[in-house]
Structure 1
Amino acid sequence: MSWQLTTSTFRFEKRIYIPLPDIEARKVMLGIHLGDTPNELSDSNFTAIAEKTEGCSGSDISVLVRDALMEPLRKCQQAQFFTPCDDKAHPVRNGPFLTPCEDDPPCAYCHMKLSTCRPKCPECKAPCQRCGALRMRLYDLPERGYSDEKLRPPMISMSDFTRVLEHSTATVASDELNRFVKWTQEFGQEG
């Protein structure tokens, strides 16, 4: 850090402290890192995420968004049921595409795979009569006649960010920030 440098620091033309991004900057960064990825986030969701990332650097926010972008793929990998949907992953009865079901099972009428089921159990392969969900794993899609193009991962949602935020932490400690502020007061300039 700057306090570990020798006196050559004073030869720098400018010694400016740039603080961590504030809430508005974090909202903008979230939008930049999401880019044009389809999502279900509202402005209030962006505000809530920005509030929960207090103390995060720009790099921390970049990592957070990248991790949240992986959540729909994780949902596909962990899914036990897939439901027909439209092109935007909204469930539609007899839709041309498939998206992972949020619940396992999706409804009370879905066939549960029991330990007594045979490997080629017809009930396990038939769609649910009530909700249309198919019991299968991601890697069963080709075997069941569905190409990769038929899979529609769910859109990024607030729950994806909530899940990722549970495991992420800011990489800059508050005592380290205090040291930067103190150093700036002694040797630097305000940015």
Structure 2
Amino acid sequence: MKAIVSKKPNVKWDDVAGLTPAKHELQRAIVFPQRFPNLYDEKRKPSGAILLYGPPGAGKSYLAKAVATEVDHTFFSISAGDVVSKYLGESEKLIRQLFTLAREKKPSIIFIDEIDALCSNREGGGGGPDNTGNEHTWRMKTEMLVQLDGLHAGDNDNTGVVVLAATNLPWALDPAFRRRFEPRIYIPLPDKEARKQLFKIHSGKWGELLTDVDMEELAEMTGGYSGSDVANVIKHALSVPLQKVQRATFFRKTGSTGEGMYTPCEGHEKGAMEMTWEGVPKDGLSEPPVTAGDFKQVLRDRRVKSSVGVGELERYEGWTREFGVEGSS
């Protein structure tokens, strides 16, 4: 019950930059069956298990938040720590309870983040109770496979329950789990248009200061950045005025009558007073405005670098060609 997300994350489909095919797949699997049940029958069935995979920070968890916001399903947010126990037999019991509760509260979604921690390859270690692997881990994975198939659920199978999983390591998944997740959607790094949208979304009110030319330049400068990297660029840019306050040795009052707030200035400016931020009264500071130059300077100074290497991207693309589908626009 603690895993049920009771408050919607307030992330809309439009808040997710790009990834249109991925959003369409999720809508067909989750939204359509609830709103248009007449579209489905014994032959045309919605997907019951969906895998989102790709580099860290590309938007997998953000997509899950959009799903939780946009649908009226019971949303379970699960990590390995929620279902793994050190006591023998307890992990299998927790997994059974999770799926039983999801069936009772359907329509429901079970979101499992970093599913590779639960469903890693059983070859070698953990392949069975008689080899060098951990029998406890093997039993837990077997129970997860049984529940994904809806076995032992009687007449109340997994209809109405969608398992949505995310991973940064799709190649670590056991083939039996990989088979059960269909579709397997690749969430790549944002393209140029998506990066422009990310700057617009995450900059908030400061985004109004950025012209179309600024957006174009920032998108060019952030090639190879993940959505999380772009958010970090914005975070650093918004902190530039605070750094100016810390470094300032002169302040002036903003009001024309000399009764306004204190703001950093140069020593030659009219009304400049030699002081540091420590001399500014409480609640008496007016921060310098954020400028487009602040965003560009963060990138020129390399304060935020891409967190995903070229070799890593090649591995994701190779796995996609073999097992997955593209989820980018």
Same fold (TM over 0.5): yes
Q: Aligned residues, how many?
A: 156
Match of 1:61 in 2: 230
Instruction: Return the alpha-carbon distance in structure 1 between the equivalents of residues 295 and 219 of structure 2.
Output: 11
Instruction: Return the alpha-carbon distance in structure 1 between the equivalents of residues 206 and 244 of structure 2.
Output: 17
Q: Aligned-pair distance for 1:57?
A: 0.8
Does structure 1 retain, via aligned residues, the 8 Å contact 2:236–2:298? yes
Show the 5 A alignment for 1:168-179.
Answer: 168-179=304-315
1:25-79 deviation per Cα after TM superposition (whole angstroms, max 9, x unaligned): 1111112111124864322122211211111111111122112111111111111
1:24 aligns with 2:193: yes
1:158 aligns with 2:292: yes
Kindly report the root-mean-square deviation, in angstroms, between the aligned alpha carbons of the 2 structures: 2.2
Determine which of 301, 310, 321 is the counterpart of 1:185. 321
Give the letter for the 1:137 counterpart: T
CA 1:11–1:37 in 2, change beyond 3 Å: closer, same or farther?
same
Q: Aligned-pair distance for 1:93?
A: 8.0
Q: Aligned-pair distance for 1:135?
A: 1.0
1:139 aligns with 2:278: yes
Match of 2:240 in 1: 71
Q: Aligned-pair distance for 1:170?
A: 0.8
Match of 2:205, SS state, is coil
Match of 2:190, SS state, is coil
CA 1:183–1:62 in 2, change beyond 3 Å: closer, same or farther?
same
Unmatched 5+ stretches in structure 2? 1-168
Match of 1:56, SS state, is coil
Q: Aligned-pair distance for 1:189?
A: 1.8
**Identity across aligned pairs (percent)?**
41
Match of 1:36 in 2: 205
Match of 1:111 in 2: none
Q: Aligned-pair distance for 1:80?
A: 0.6
Instruction: Return the alpha-carbon distance in structure 2 between the equivalents of residues 62 and 29 of structure 1.
Output: 8
CA 1:176–1:93 in 2, change beyond 3 Å: closer, same or farther?
farther
Query: In terms of Rg, which structure is larger?
Result: 2
Does structure 2 retain, via aligned residues, the 8 Å contact 1:40–1:158? yes
When the two structures are superposed, what TM-score results if normalisation uses the length of structure 1? 0.72
Instruction: Return the alpha-carbon distance in structure 2 between the equivalents of residues 31 and 49 of structure 1.
Output: 11
Does structure 2 retain, via aligned residues, the 8 Å contact 1:69–1:156? yes
Match of 1:183, SS state, is helix
Instruction: Return the alpha-carbon distance in structure 2 between the equivalents of residues 57 and 137 of structure 1.
Output: 38
Unmatched 5+ stretches in structure 1? 87-91, 108-129
Instruction: Return the alpha-carbon distance in structure 2 between the equivalents of residues 163 and 100 of structure 1.
Output: 19
Instruction: Return the alpha-carbon distance in structure 2 between the equivalents of residues 134 and 20 of structure 1.
Output: 48
1:82 aligns with 2:251: yes
Structure 1 segments, 4+ long, off by >6 Å, are: none
Give the letter for the 1:54 counterpart: G
CA 1:21–1:31 in 2, change beyond 3 Å: closer, same or farther?
same
